[in-house]
Amino acid sequence: MALIDKDALVARIENLENTYKKCPTRNSYEEGLKEGRLIGYKDALHKINTLEVKEVDLDFEQELYKAFGQVKDFTLGMRIAKHFFELGLKAQKGE
Give the pLDDT confidence of 9-37 residue by residue, as tens digits. Answer: 999 999 999 999 999 999 999 999 999 99
Q: Which domain holds residue 67?
A: 58-93
- Residues 88 and 65 both lie in one domain: yes
pLDDT confidence of residue 14: 95
Residues 41 and 63 placed together within one structural domain of the fold: no
Q: Which residues contact 21 (CB under 8 A, 6 or more apart)?
A: 38
Using the predicted structure, report yes or no on whether residue 3 has a pLDDT greater than 90: no
pTM for the full predicted model: 0.54
Domain count, the chain: 2
Question: In whole angstroms, how far apart are CA 23 and each of 13, 34, 47, 69?
Answer: 16, 8, 25, 51
Q: How far apart are CA 29 and CA 25, in angstroms?
A: 9
Q: Supply the angle between the helices 28-48 and 6-21 in degrees, to the nearest 10.
A: 160
Q: Identify whether 25 is part of a domain.
A: yes
pLDDT for 64 beyond 90 = no
Task: Tell me the per-residue pLDDT of 34-47, one tens digit each, with 9 for 90 and over.
Answer: 999 999 999 999 99
* Beta carbons within 10 angstroms of residue 83's beta carbon: 14
In a domain, residue 1? The reply is: no
Residue 73's φ and ψ, nearest 5 degrees, are -100, 120
**Residue 70, domain member (yes or no):** yes
Q: Would 53 be classed as within a structural domain?
A: no
